[in-house]
Chains A and B, each alone.
Chain A
Amino acid sequence: MKLTARNSAKGYFFISGWIIGFLIFTLIPIIRTFWFSFNRVRFTADGIKESFIGLLNYKNAFLMDVAFTDGLINYAGQMAVFIPVIITFSLIAAILLTKDIKGKGFFRTIFFLPVIITSGPVMKQLIEQNATSLPGISEYFSVQELANEFGLLGNLLGTVLSSFIMILWFCGVQILIFIAAIQKLDQSMYEAASIDGASGWQSFWKLTLPALMPVVGVNVLYTLVTLSGFSLNTIVQKISTDMYDINRGIGYATALSVIYFGVILIILTVFMVFINGRRKKAER
């Protein structure tokens, strides 16, 4: 066997376990989901009956279902605000947590702690109990007033304020990824910069940030995915209720999820184009 062939055989060997599991329980179901979205699907006594109806499900989603289109617009707006806030906050936190502070390990632990909370039943309870908004904020300003005064910007600001704590809770893994990346940066680079007279502020913008740009990309993707797939997300909830709805059914619900997937992809592309633009500018 040639060397390259042997190498790739080894590669396939290491990845084989994952490929099998992924194919059976993720990829094939996803492909099936795409197919379902063009059908009317009914459960009958002798199995599942599919009848091809073309793009009707998609047409209904956009033209008949007000809750869905509204939800999508809302969701896109939320992402446009949440992702930059989460990325900025975790970057700041990561930089501080790599500085030499007493009790660094303790703070790192605490900042990672919410990762174990933001899943499943616990989070649901917290949201139901209204524990995710800053206590007091809602008494001083209402989101509505802000929206009236500053238009769209105020509306977004209101969203951030009202779910501020929740945004912080989604930062754990991102902070961790940033910390890992910052610790790998070459310290002698900073030394050289400071000998040349660069201030801490300058070396952040000229050294740290450009070097971290690829990691920012990773974090944007991770944030987007966790926020979008989060089981308490309104669209995810709508999809799961429509799936068992007699009038709408699984064909319609899968069409919704395909559209949702498309929207997530578009949002990701927008962020990635922005990040690549920054990176190119930094390289120049």
Chain B
Amino acid sequence: MSKFQGTKINPKNFHKSQIKFYLFLVPFAVFMVLPLVFIFSQAFKPMDELLQFPPKILVAHPSFENFRQLFSTMTNSGLPVTRYLFNSITVTAITVILTVYISVSAGYALSKKKFGLRNFIFKVNTFALMFVPIAVSIPRYIIVVKMGLIDTFVINILPMLAMPVGLFLVKQFIDQIPDTLIEAAKIDGANDFIIFFRIIIPLCKPAIATLVILSFQTAWNYTEASSIYINNESFKTFAYFMNTVTSTNNTVAGMGMAAAAALIMFLPNLIIFIFTQSKVMNTMAHSGIK
């Protein structure tokens, strides 16, 4: 009866027939975790181990030397580190919330509403995806100047809100929600806002969680605004600060500091990921639509 294995519902236990899958999954899983281990151990490596060639993945004699160096450089500059950190946290939080709202509502309109420019807008978005972001930085600067947004706090947030990748992923996801579900809700008397908040958003949770991770990353690592549009030190972000600290001390000693900075920059990503991953991974299984 082995042929009907596929129709059995979720065996909770380990079975011999699963071994072949593990043979594939385990080695690859090791590769996937490797960079993570590397980032952590790199930050704790003392100087002689950092310069070792070929580099070792694990640290032999962990030390906090890199962190100590990094923080002692920080105190030399005028502003306290917490100011940059506060800026980054505010910027990131606002960006993530607004990006999710804007992308999902646009995705809903593109996928389920019928209006003239619908296909055209989606095509333009797809083309924009393929354009190198760096190339538009100067025209973008000109617009920012014209709008008088130079040296303001909001410029940290505004450029990232309409995220082409986000719209692309969410729209593809909403396409899979059957129209009949929305029609049924309409017949029951739901208006567009109820449909949007009660049906689309709950069903999109996996896509939203992915979007949260992607936009969090973009916002947290975003340095363009701080380095180009903002002169006022107190509006700049932590990512920018980390960049300057590691690049202005570009000596051998800078390497250790860069490693420690990378870990500090990376940790929030990891934390957000751990919080959202159960949504990303699980809600997809019982999203109520097949």
Contact = CB atoms under 8 A, between A and B. Distances in A.
Interface of A: 4, 7-15, 17-22, 24-30, 32-33, 36, 48, 92-93, 96-97, 99-102, 105, 107-117, 119-122, 125-126, 129-131, 135, 165, 168-169, 173, 176-177, 179-181, 183-184, 186-187, 190-191, 194, 200, 218, 221-222, 224-225, 228-229, 231, 235-236, 239-240, 243, 250, 253-254, 256-257, 260-261, 264-265, 268
Given A8-B114, A121-B265, A179 B284 contact: yes
Contacts of B290: 184, 186
Instruction: Give the top 5 A-B pairs by smallest Cβ distance, nearest first.
Output: A11-B113, A21-B162, A8-B115, A257-B135, A32-B139
A122 B270 contact: no
A7 B113 contact: yes
Interface residue range, chain B: 35 or more
Interface string B271-286: 0110001101110110
A113 B3 contact: no
Contacts of A168: 28, 31-32
A225 B165 contact: yes
A113 B176 CA distance: 25
Contact of A112 (B35, B115, B269, B281): B281
Interface of B: 3-4, 6-8, 10-14, 18, 21-22, 24-25, 28-29, 31-36, 38-39, 42, 54-55, 57, 101-103, 105-106, 108-110, 113-116, 118, 121, 124-140, 142-143, 147, 158-159, 161-162, 164-165, 167-169, 172-173, 176, 192, 196, 206, 210, 213-214, 217-218, 221, 239, 242-243, 258-259, 261-262, 265-266, 269-270, 272-273, 277-278, 280-282, 284-285, 289-290
A261 B130 contact: yes
Contacts of B196: 14
A224 B132 CA distance: 12
A160 to B, nearest CB: 14
Given A10-B192, A101-B21, A190-B7, A165 B34 contact: yes
Contacts, number: 272
B109 A11 contact: yes
Given A99-B21, A102-B13, A265-B127, 17 more contacts: A10-B113, A14-B105, A18-B167, A19-B106, A25-B158, A25-B162, A29-B140, A48-B142, A96-B21, A107-B25, A111-B32, A116-B217, A116-B269, A169-B32, A225-B130, A228-B132, A229-B129
B134 A236 contact: yes
14 contacts: A11-B115, A15-B105, A18-B162, A22-B125, A33-B139, A97-B25, A100-B18, A101-B21, A116-B273, A122-B35, A125-B258, A131-B35, A191-B6, A222-B165
Contacts of B22: 101
A275 B2 CA distance: 33
A33 B262 contact: no
Contact of A14 (B4, B13, B106): B106
B100 to A, nearest CB: 12
B35 to A, nearest CB: 5
A29 B137 CA distance: 8
A48 B158 CA distance: 24
A257 B135 CA distance: 6
Given A116-B213, A125-B259, A107 B29 contact: yes
Contacts of B131: 30, 33, 257, 261
Contacts of B243: 121
Contacts of B130: 224-225, 228-229, 261, 264-265, 268
A184 B173 CA distance: 12
A41 B167 CA distance: 33
Nearest to A114: B32
With a 10 A CB-CB cut-off, give which of B34, B137, B221 has the most chain A CB atoms: B34
Contact of B176 (A17, A184, A186): A184
B106 A17 contact: yes
A268 B123 CA distance: 14
Nearest to B125: A22
B115 to A, nearest CB: 3
Given A261-B131, A265-B130, A110 B32 contact: yes
A236 B221 contact: no
B204 to A, nearest CB: 11
Contact of B132 (A36, A121, A165, A229): A229
A113 B36 contact: yes
Contacts of A22: 125, 128, 162, 164
B245 to A, nearest CB: 11
Contacts of B118: 11
A202 B211 CA distance: 35
Nearest to B35: A117
B32 A30 contact: no
B244 to A, nearest CB: 12
